[in-house]
């Protein structure tokens, strides 16, 4: 007769199975405790949408990052840990409002967002461009040149393009509504297919 001498296997065999729901509950309790103790600076969750899985991240100030899968969610989380704080934790409930409003937008039931935003990942001219984006109405577009003029720098249309390309809050801050003067869609952080889908959604 042989016996299994691996204590790890013996221990695992003695432990009760944990369901996904139980793990989620434990994780949520951990997130709540971390927030209560002031050791949670960036909360995040993911959300499935027609443009793929989005990563949503928020600080105590507000929504700070919306990232497409094409950007690499792990890389985005690492950047947040470097740029804001290493105390980053998956805490879906803290982003329920953001997830709900984005779902409503994709379902055609919402045209503007009412979320607190944290602009700390942008500064100077780029932040000025971002604050003008909500002024481009749902279903409308503006050229990079016209947005540059609106910001007060008529010749800075290339800089406007850079500000849109580095927008940390796409979809919520609608840089997808900024197009080239010839009517072509132009570049987009989430890729050309995502930009086209958003424009078509709003045009429908």
Q: 189, exposed or middle or buried, with CB in 10 Å at 0-12, 13-18, 19+?
A: buried
Alpha helices in 107-175, H assignment, sequence order: 124-132, 144-151, 157-165
Q: Say which of 147, 175, 194, 198 is annotated catalytic.
A: 175
Answer whether 113's CB lies under 8 Å from 105's CB.
yes
Is the CB of residue 102 less than 8 Å from the CB of residue 47?
yes
Q: Are strands 42-49 and 88-90 parallel, antiparallel or unpaired?
A: parallel
Looking up tokens 């050229």 gives: 143
175 is catalytic: yes
CA distance 183 to 176: 13
Residue numbers annotated as active site: 175
């Amino acid at each position: 007769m042989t016996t299994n001498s691996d204590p790890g296997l013996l221990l695992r065999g003695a432990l009760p199975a944990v369901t996904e729901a139980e793990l989620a509950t434990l994780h949520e309790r951990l997130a709540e405790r971390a927030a209560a103790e002031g050791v949670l600076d960036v909360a995040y969750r993911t959300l499935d949408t027609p443009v793929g899985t989005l990563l949503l991240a928020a600080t105590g100030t507000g929504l700070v990052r919306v990232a497409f899968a094409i950007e690499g969610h792990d890389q985005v989380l690492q950047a947040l840990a470097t740029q804001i704080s290493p105390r980053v934790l998956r805490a879906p409930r803290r982003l329920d409002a953001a997830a709900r409003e984005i779902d409503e937008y994709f379902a055609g039931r919402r045209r503007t967002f009412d979320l607190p935003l944290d602009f700390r990942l942008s500064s100077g001219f780029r932040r000025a461009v971002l604050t003008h984006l909500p002024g481009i109405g749902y279903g409308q577009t503006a050229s990079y040149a016209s947005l540059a003029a609106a910001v007060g720098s008529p010749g800075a249309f290339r800089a406007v393009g850079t500000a849109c390309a580095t927008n940390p809050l796409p979809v919520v801050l609608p840089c997808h509504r900024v197009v080239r003067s010839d009517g072509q869609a132009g570049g987009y952080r989430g890729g050309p297919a995502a930009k086209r889908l958003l424009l078509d959604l709003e045009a429908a």
